[in-house]
Amino acid sequence: MIRLVAPSTLRRLGILGMNRRNISFIGANNPRRNYQLVDNKLLTKKAALERGIVVPELYGVIEHQFQIDHIMEQVQDRDAFVIKPVQGSGGKGILVVVGRDGDRFVKSSGSVIADRDLRRHTSNILAGLHSLGGRNDFAMIEALIDFNPALAEYSYEGVPDIRVIVLRGVPVMAMMRCATHASDGKANLHQGAVGVGIDIGDGHSIAAVQHGSLVTHHPDTGACFKSLRLPDWDAILDLAASCAEMTGLGYLGADIVLDRQRGPMLLELNARPGLAIQVANQEGLIHRLRMAEEIAATAPDHAARVRLARDRFHRPEPVFPEEPVAFPSGAA
Amino acid sequence: MIASKYKVGIVAGALILFGLVLTAYKVVSLDLPLWPGESREVWTIETKISFQPSDGPVDVELELPSGLGGWVTLEEHFASSGFGFSVVEEGDGKVARWSRQSLEHPTTLYYKQQAYRANRDLLPDFPVSEVEAPLLEADQRAAMERLVMDLRDRSSGPATFAALLIQELARSQPSQDAEFLLGTYRETSLRVMLDVLAYAGIPAHTVRGIQLQDGRRRQTLSALLEIHDGSDWQLLDPVTAVSGLPDNFFIWQRGDGAALRVMGGRDSRLEFALVSNSLSAKTVVSMEQRSDDFALLDFSIYALPVEQQGIFKGILLLPVAAFVVVVMRILVGLKTSGTFMPILIALAFLQTTLLVGLVIFLSLVSVGLWIRSWLSHLNLLLVARVSAVVIVVILLMAVLALISYKLGLDQALTVTFFPTIILAWTIERMSILWEEEGGREVMVQGGGSLLVAIMAYLVMSLSVVEHLTFNFPELLVSLLGVILLIGKYTGYRLSELYRFRDMANMK
């Protein structure tokens, strides 16, 4: 028998469902014309630079098939770089090269690929394989994030990124996504990455979830999530909140990484942020979104919004399981 | 936002109402059946007029039935070789007139019609004319006087009077007066009845028509007695005295006067051959639309040529399949690969039947995936690769068709109904999905698509659905309203009740 939860329970907990998200938050807050800025990563990057928001350095853009031959010239003196589609969705089509093995490239998973694999991947990107609606696309090459070593132990073969949901400039909920062996170095929760709920108030961890079950430790590195407290929390919230003004989107998810030297960095924006953040935080979004609407209506400026949000959404007590489970299996 | 919600509500409500009202109108007023499989008894009535011509011009007039009692004529056809022919309006009804300058041989004229009883209508009002007392001999008058007195004593009104009169005359041993009257009249008892009724001051006339009997040939006109009881006209069977219009009585002519007039001929006879067919209600309506009785039907699918009707039969099912997709994605939360790919698969299933279709689909996709995984090593451009998959799929279809044909499995020949391009794209998407998100996601999305396709197929193959969409296309307007409403649904999806099942445990 499949166990279901009553809709009334979900409503009481304030869990946001897909339909409600689409109509009441995305549809009501995000004007269609502003999507372009978010869906196109080059435009995002350009707008961010104009506002002084830190983004990964852009090495180059490949717009046409014939330029693929030049790809080698653009990366020949780089040890590490990332190739991604300009209009990719859901983290698809991102190739991360972390090092060189002579002429060949080492991926983040440790596997080695030849330059023809690189060309094929780029060619697929240009044909629109990974892009929204299958449109023709550009490929962009940018710097690999040299992520903050304080977080290194929380991620396996990948960069841990921080997702902050922002409603009308008010940070509402946050989580850190940690790649695992099961997720193949990707930070997608449904593929087995661990989602760690982060307190808006001070950046400490609230709960950690893998495959929908609560965990205390990273399954591969063994790091304990209980003691996690994100550095530069002020800067992270500030960055996330300013993205709202930059894009004109009332409801968005900002993906932020912590760079060793440059601090919080905007990786990408998402006009349709997913619902898994509620599971990672063990809390529904709706109550907070309603409060955020009040804050947005009353707070005079950017700083006041962030301050009020930190005040209202602070949760002192985490919800980690009592008995530490050393290496929980992935099965839910 | 609230305003837009109300706007959608109002628009959707109006659309739903419009569809339902129009449907209700067609059901109630035009008598289109709401459920399939209902049939109508359609009578083919062949009227045969035969006579011996005498010298001089021939003029034949046949009064045509005017659809009394809810009868509707679907088709009529006159055979009139060598005759001048016209149909003229005369009074309430129509008269067919054949004419010819001279005629040597005995001849037969035909009039064929198809009719069915659409409604059980009552007869319309008929003018009550002044009753004229019959001209009688003195002894006849005395007998009639006594008979009328006797019947008046026993009856409570004109209706019972007439019923008693019929019984009296039909008895094997009638009273002396009745026997005398029947004996002195050289005509049928019906003539006696009409005279007795006239003598009693009761307005009466005959209603001529055909007793419908399937397969009957050489049927002649029979008559019912219609009397006016002071307020309404009432029909009585002149033999059994049963009142009301019998179900199997096709009214040809109401009131006095001859149904057939032949000038310049003798020994004229009016005979009928009858055949009854049980036709589906659909066919009946489609035949009917050719007559201009119902303007609304002229704008229905039935107004199209039969070939286009067949195409529309399929197209009109698409919205229902789209509705299934909407429900499964928004209310249930199934993932499908491509929004409307399941509909196209379901359409193919309609041609192949479900089981055969499933087997073909699964084998094509799995072999296609296998070949596609080999193609991915070749490092091709996307468009070329998808085109290559298209060709591979077509070859696979050909091979499948050939093998199954040689093995005598005719069902697999329906493989051609699968949309090749869609299959190729499905294979391409699945293969990418496999590379990027793993086999599990392929199973989830592929399974979801297939499940939705099967459900859409099951809904589309319901005969009720086909019947309703074809005969009541306005129901699709209602469906549109419902889809608009679902488009504003902000509640949880069924899948979310599962996805967030563990959230119930939190504090």
Residues ≥6 apart with Cβ < 8 Å to B229: B157, B158, B159
Residue B293 has pLDDT above 70, yes or no: no
Mean pLDDT for the stretch of residues A300-321: 86
Answer for the pair B420, B427: CB distance below 8 angstroms, yes or no. Answer: no
- Within a 10 A sphere around the Cβ of B118, how many other Cβ atoms? 18
Q: Which residues of B touch A65 (CB under 8 A)?
A: 381
Interfacial B residues in 377-436 facing A (CB < 8 Å): 379, 381-383, 432, 436
B458 and B336 share a domain?
yes
**Closest residue of B to A21, CA-based?**
B490
Residues ≥6 apart with Cβ < 8 Å to A41: A84, A86, A87, A88, A140, A268
Residue B76 covered by a domain? no
B333 and B224 share a domain?
no
pLDDT (0 to 100) of residue A141: 92
Fill in the amino acid letter for B133.
Answer: A
Split into its structural domains, chain B has a count of 2
B229 and B355 share a domain?
no
Which CATH number belongs to the domain containing residue B220 in this structure?
3.30.460
For residues A174 and A74, the model is more confident at: A174
Q: What mean pLDDT is reported for chain A?
A: 86
B337 and B433 share a domain?
yes
Fill in the amino acid letter for B220.
Answer: T
Residue B316 has pLDDT above 80, yes or no: yes
> Model confidence over B467-499: pLDDT tens digits?
788 778 889 999 999 999 999 898 999 998 988
pLDDT (0 to 100) of residue B301: 64
pLDDT (0 to 100) of residue B2: 58
B343 and B451 share a domain?
yes
pLDDT (0 to 100) of residue B280: 63
Residue B337 has pLDDT above 80, yes or no: no
Asked if this assembly's ipTM is beyond 0.95, the reply is no
pLDDT (0 to 100) of residue B493: 92
Q: In chain A, which residues touch B (CB < 8 A)? A: 2-7, 9-11, 13, 15, 17-20, 23-24, 28, 65, 92-93, 116, 119-120, 123-124, 127-129, 191, 212-213, 275, 278-279, 282-284, 319
**CATH code, A7-38+149-312:** 3.30.470.20
**Domain encompassing residue B366:** 311-472
Mean pLDDT for the stretch of residues A213-241: 89
pLDDT (0 to 100) of residue A251: 94
pLDDT (0 to 100) of residue A180: 87
pLDDT band per the 50, 70, 90 thresholds, residue A256 = very high
Q: Mutate which of B330, B376, B499 to test chain A, going by most A C-beta atoms within 10 A?
A: B499
Percent of chain B scored above 70 by pLDDT?
89
- Within a 10 A sphere around the Cβ of A167, how many other Cβ atoms? 26
To the nearest whole Å, the CA of A311 is away from the closest chain B CA by 21
Q: How far is Cα B71 from Cα B84, in angstroms, rounded to an integer?
A: 28
Range from A184-188, B224-228, B351-355 carrying the lowest mean pLDDT: A184-188
Answer for the pair B429, A129: CB distance below 8 angstroms, yes or no. Answer: no
Mean pLDDT for the stretch of residues A203-226: 88
pLDDT (0 to 100) of residue A208: 92
> Model confidence over B166-215: pLDDT tens digits?
888 888 787 888 888 888 876 778 888 888 888 888 888 888 888 888 77
Q: What mean pLDDT is reported for chain B?
A: 82
Q: How far is Cα B73 from Cα B84, in angstroms, rounded to an integer?
A: 23
Give the residue carrying structure tokens 């609304």: B296
B250 and B377 share a domain?
no
> Model confidence over B54-98: pLDDT tens digits?
888 888 888 888 878 888 887 777 877 778 888 888 777 788 888
Residue B381 covered by a domain? yes
Helices (H), B185-300: 189-199, 281-288
Nearest to A23 among B437, B490, B500 (CB): B490
Residue A262 has pLDDT above 60, yes or no: yes
Domain ranges of chain A: 7-38+149-312, 57-143
Contact assignment for B496 to A10 by CB distance below 8 Å: yes
B342 and B254 share a domain?
no
Residue B48 has pLDDT above 90, yes or no: no
Q: Which residues of B touch A6 (CB under 8 A)?
A: 497, 504
| Dihedral angle over CA of A139, A140, A144, A150, nearest 10 | -90
B315 and B247 share a domain?
no
pLDDT (0 to 100) of residue A331: 40
Q: What is the topology classification, in CATH, of domain A57-143?
A: Dna Ligase; domain 1 (3.30.1490)
Contact assignment for B379 to A18 by CB distance below 8 Å: no
pTM for the whole thing?
0.65
**Closest residue of A to B505, CA-based?**
A282
Range from A152-166, B33-47, B230-244, B334-348 carrying the lowest mean pLDDT: B33-47
Q: Where a domain ends, among B226, B243, B261? A: B261
Q: Which residues of A touch B498 (CB under 8 A)?
A: 2-5
Residue A164 has pLDDT above 90, yes or no: yes
Q: How far is Cα A196 from Cα A181, in angstroms, rounded to an integer?
A: 16
pLDDT (0 to 100) of residue B283: 61
Residue B379 has pLDDT above 80, yes or no: no
Residue B124 covered by a domain? no
Residues ≥6 apart with Cβ < 8 Å to B460: B317, B320, B321, B346, B347, B350, B466
Q: Mutate which of A5, A20, A191 to test chain B, going by most B C-beta atoms within 10 A?
A: A5
Q: How far is Cα B72 from Cα B57, in angstroms, rounded to an integer?
A: 34
Residue A271 has pLDDT above 80, yes or no: yes
Residue B356 covered by a domain? yes
For residues A39 and B304, the model is more confident at: A39
The answer, for B2 touching chain A at a CB cutoff of 8 Å, is no
Q: Which two tokens stand for residue A220?
A: 């591969």
pLDDT (0 to 100) of residue A134: 64
pLDDT band per the 50, 70, 90 thresholds, residue A1 = low
Residues ≥6 apart with Cβ < 8 Å to A235: A263, A264
Burial of B222 (0-12, 13-18, 19+ CB in 10 A): middle
pLDDT (0 to 100) of residue B286: 63
To the nearest whole Å, the CA of A189 is away from the closest chain B CA by 12
Q: Which residues of B touch A17 (CB under 8 A)?
A: 490-493, 496
Q: How far is Cα A82 from Cα A122, in angstroms, rounded to an integer?
A: 11
Contact assignment for A278 to B500 by CB distance below 8 Å: yes
Fill in the amino acid letter for B367.
Answer: V
